[in-house]
Structure 1
Amino acid sequence: MKTLKNSTPKLAFYALGCKLSSSETSNIARNFTDKGYERVEFKEFPIIQVKNTSSVTENVVKSFG
């Protein structure tokens, strides 16, 4: 990823599922913010939205949902 110079794109993250999803999402977010992106809430209409889910959670929902 390149470091941004003249603009600050906004992005939002959401982790759904296990602790691993939350940890991965935090690492991804940190990589983006280190490169100059601004982390915001979804209500601020970010240009990038990352939604990280867990296949384990998906399978549980299929079984019991």
Structure 2
Amino acid sequence: MTDPVCGMEVNPELCKIRETYQGQEFFFCSEMCRKVFLMNPQRYLPWKPGKPDRRKPPL
């Protein structure tokens, strides 16, 4: 699993810092990444075709 904020690999079986948003569970490497996620969770939702990728700034 990948921390959606910083991209670090985390083991979901060992990870104690997690958050459920819209029925999906997210795992974090640190409490700081979790807090950043909670400020704007929509930014880190999985990208879908036809939906702007909010994780990357526009060019």
Fold shared, TM-score > 0.5 on shorter chain: no
Indicate the structure whose relative CO is greater, using CA pairs within 8 Å and at least 6 residues apart.
1
Q: Select the structure that is richer in helix.
A: 1
* Pair member with larger Rg: 1
Q: Select the structure that is richer in strand.
A: 1
